[in-house]
Amino acid sequence: MHWPKKLKRGDKVALIAPSSPVESHDLVESAKKYLEGLSFEVALGESCYASCGYLSGTDEMRARDINWAFSTPDINGIFCLRGGYGMQRILNQIDFDIIANNSKFFSGYSDITALHTAINQQTGLITFHSPMPGTLKFAQADLFTKTTFQDFIFGVDGSYIYKNPTGFDWCFLNQGEATGKLCGGNLSIITSSIGTPYEIDTKGKILFIEEVDEEPYKIDRMLNQLHLAGKLKDCVGIVFGDFADCDTKEPAKSLTILEIINNLNLTIPILYNFRCGHCYPTATLPMGAMVRLDSDKNSFEVIH
């Protein structure tokens, strides 16, 4: 795995919408203004203002935007406007040779999980699970979220030690220490990769999982599918992020997310309630980087 070249003020970056369309054109302008505020020159992909049902343009347009952003020499970084749905439709149209030969900062989350996994596994490029500036919530993003995002935008040297923001506590469900490459992202997208050419490889890795707007029984089903597919057995540690709006409407007839996880009877180190996912505040994660979990030190850190 290798890190992309650090971005610096004055660099040209691209905004693209490779999944669903933004909720309003004002959000494209808001995202552009945010990046310009970091002293970047911003180029907009065709998909930024496009719409095709629940997709931000045709499959060909969205794939073309990704290939364009990576292949254009003076573009140094790529920011996804939002997630939604559609990334898996275009994975077979992405030119991974172009990406392998043009290592650049690439960020997004949610549906973008599919491309993080594919890029990490097919090119060795470290990418960034991060908030996206084209969403409604990002306009009111807190200092913790923007600071950790910008830490990785401009590059970190050496190790990076995570701490949850004030008021949010994490805990280790299982004790121990584990070191491995970070993989994962959105649970639905991870699970739907099973059986495809882009199936997630968790062997010897630390798996990060987050989800939004799913009933606990659906979380249970997806985690058990990963378990039966050997993906939880293969990894050396797990980081459970935020499960936003995943509470059941009938608590008396449901298991909690924590009960579902404990019922898996895993023995590897597990960090629970790491503040990252469809939530604010939220952290930024370098997917593919070497990370370490240590329950004795109550720590989660990037070690490069």
Q: Which tokens hold the place of 147?
A: 């600071």
Domain stops at, among 153, 178, 208? 153
Q: Are 144 and 195 part of one and the same domain?
A: no
Contacts 24+ apart (CB under 8 A), 70-74: 70/95, 70/98, 70/99, 70/102, 70/104, 71/95, 71/98, 71/102, 72/14, 72/43, 73/102, 74/12
How many structural domains does the chain have? 2
Q: Are 142 and 206 part of one and the same domain?
A: no
What whole-number percentage of the chain has pLDDT above 70?
Answer: 100
> pLDDT per residue over 135-167, tens digit each?
988 988 999 999 999 999 999 887 999 999 999
278 carries an active-site annotation: yes
With vertex at residue 289, the alpha carbon angle to CA 292 and CA 110, rounded to the nearest 5 degrees, is 105
Domain stops at, among 106, 121, 153? 153
Q: Are 103 and 214 part of one and the same domain?
A: no
What domain range is 99 assigned to? 12-153
19 carries an active-site annotation: no
Burial class (CB in 10 A: 0-12, 13-18, 19+), 54: exposed
| Domain membership flag for residue 4 | no
Q: Are 42 and 165 part of one and the same domain?
A: no
Region 91-115 average pLDDT:
98
Q: Are 180 and 282 part of one and the same domain?
A: yes
Domain with residue 234: its CATH number is 3.50.30.60
User: Residues 16-41, buried b or exposed e (16+ Cβ, 10 A)?
Assistant: bbbbbbbeeeebbebbbebbeebebe
Region 234-250 average pLDDT:
95
Within a 13 Å sphere around the CA of 53, how many CA atoms are in the beta-carbon half? Answer: 4
Domain stops at, among 129, 153, 177? 153
Selected catalytic residue, list 19, 110, 130, 295: 110
Q: Are 33 and 142 part of one and the same domain?
A: yes
Q: Are 142 and 245 part of one and the same domain?
A: no
Domain with residue 72: its CATH number is 3.40.50.10740
Q: Are 141 and 204 part of one and the same domain?
A: no
> pLDDT per residue over 196-216, tens digit each?
999 999 999 999 999 999 999
Region 273-277 average pLDDT:
98
> pLDDT per residue over 22-62, tens digit each?
999 999 999 999 999 999 999 999 999 999 999 999 999 99
pTM of the model: 0.96
| Domain membership flag for residue 76 | yes
pLDDT, residue 106, reads 98
Region 12-25 average pLDDT:
96
227 carries an active-site annotation: no
Selected catalytic residue, list 193, 214, 278, 295: 278
Q: Are 17 and 141 part of one and the same domain?
A: yes
| Domain membership flag for residue 52 | yes
Selected catalytic residue, list 210, 211, 214, 295: 210
Burial class (CB in 10 A: 0-12, 13-18, 19+), 253: exposed
Mean pLDDT of all residues belonging to the chain: 96
The CA distances from residue 156 to 34, 161, 165, in Å, are: 21, 11, 19
pLDDT, residue 249, reads 87
Q: Are 142 and 170 part of one and the same domain?
A: no
Q: Are 179 and 295 part of one and the same domain?
A: yes
The CA R_g of the chain, rounded to the nearest whole Å, is: 18
What whole-number percentage of the chain has pLDDT above 90?
Answer: 96
| Domain membership flag for residue 205 | yes
